[in-house]
Amino acid sequence: MKRYLVLEDGTVYEGKAFGADVDSVGELVFNTGVVGYIETLTDPSYYGQIVMQTFPLMGNYGIIEADFEGECHVRGYVVREWCRQPSNFRCEYDLDTFLKRRGVPGICGVDTRAITQHIREHGVMNAVICSEVPASLDKLKDYAVVDAVKSVSTGVTEIFPAQGEKKHNITLIDYGAKHNIERELQRRGCEVKVVPYDTTAEAVLAEHPDGVMLSNGPGDPAENVACVAELKKLLGKVPIFGICLGHQLLALAAGGRTEKLKYGHRGANQPCKDLTTGHTYITSQNHGYAVVADSLPSFGKVRFVNANDLTCEGVEYPEYRAFTVQFHPEACAGPMDTSFLFDKFMDLMNERG
């Protein structure tokens, strides 16, 4: 059955349908990962977006629910080819079944290389996956990703026990957290309390955590005014480690600014340079906004930059016992190049006493 990918600038790509039989509007972005489509489809940071994979074949090892990072919040899925007969001893069902169960439309048989080049030249834009090309693009142009964090954050407080001997109590503020963040902390002997995005600083500090973890999440960081206000109250009161959106929110709380990138960084092969050591790491990333390095206060020191475009990828706030990174150290992209940052967080809490 024919299906179309229509961009807000009027560009139309014809392909074939798979996944759910529905039309869907979203912000079209591309991911350069060769593998990891399960983690991509279940990453809450893709809320409101249609995801396109630049690697031509997806679904060849099927769907494994133990590898889910969260709930599926994508608005559509675009691939060159999807594998109808996956081969993997862990496979539970195929990609088409996954999308159908979650009401997500897919389109295959399109030239993903050409679409990627179009986005790189013109920037990310809204798109619709549909069975018929719409006569008007007004609805498509008006679409915007709003209330993203509110839509993906947990609604309840949950506690995850430490593995082995308990060493620290961590409060993880969930802005759309990937499960592997809590797993990395648990492995290091941390009991992790996951709390909703709108938890107040007073409520966090009342539990006397040894450290606070700020998770990844979707959307425009500047939209989260209330979250930023609470982080201002936490800064300097307790050791803090922020990832992705957590990195951006703490920069805003410190007085910095963020900006939207032309087409963002999404994939498991993003080079990131450590300005302290000179080492370059291969990292997993998923973001469309970046911290403006020149906007940071004097007490914020840029430690990591993207090796491709030199955008800010990590900041240290030594006076306030806090540090953040834009990439995902829990994602094992290199395969475990930057997992040392969790150890750095442990050291920071140990120094506290």
Domains of the chain: 2-145 (3.50.30.20), 149-352 (3.40.50.880)
Tell me the pLDDT of the chain averaged across its residues: 96
Quote the pLDDT of residue 336: 62
Mean pLDDT for the stretch of residues 150-173: 97
Quote the pLDDT of residue 269: 87
Task: State pLDDT tens for residues 262-297.
Answer: 999 999 889 999 999 999 999 999 999 999 999 999
Query: Token pair of 265, please?
Result: 């960084």
Query: Token pair of 61, please?
Result: 């090892």
**The pLDDT of residue 352 is above 70:** no
Determine contact, residues 137/158, Cβ cutoff 8 Å. no
pTM: 0.96
Mean pLDDT for the stretch of residues 205-232: 98
Query: Token pair of 88, please?
Result: 């993997």
Residue located via tokens 């990333």: 285
Task: State pLDDT tens for residues 307-325.
Answer: 999 999 999 999 999 999 9
**The pLDDT of residue 353 is above 80:** no
**The pLDDT of residue 81 is above 60:** yes
Mean pLDDT for the stretch of residues 241-260: 98
Nearby residues of 331 by Cβ (< 8 Å), 6 or more positions away? 39, 178, 180, 268, 283, 284
Determine contact, residues 140/12, Cβ cutoff 8 Å. no
Mean pLDDT for the stretch of residues 36-57: 97
Task: State pLDDT tens for residues 113-137.
Answer: 999 999 999 999 999 999 999 999 9
Determine contact, residues 249/312, Cβ cutoff 8 Å. no
Give CA angle at 139 (135, 126), nearest 5°. 100
Given pLDDT bands bounded at 50, 70 and 90, which one contains residue 337? Answer: confident
Query: Token pair of 51, please?
Result: 């995801």
Quote the pLDDT of residue 330: 84
Residue located via tokens 């957590």: 246
What letter would DSSP give residue 302?
E
Mean pLDDT for the stretch of residues 3-12: 98
Query: Token pair of 3, please?
Result: 């299906």
**The pLDDT of residue 162 is above 80:** yes
- With CA atoms as reference, report the closest residue to 23 among 103, 130, 108: 130
Cross-sheet strand order for the sheet of 280-291: 158-160, 190-195, 168-173, 211-214, 240-243, 322-325, 312-317, 301-306, 258-274, 280-291
**The pLDDT of residue 16 is above 90:** yes
**Catalytic residues, which ones?**
244, 328, 330
Quote the pLDDT of residue 321: 96
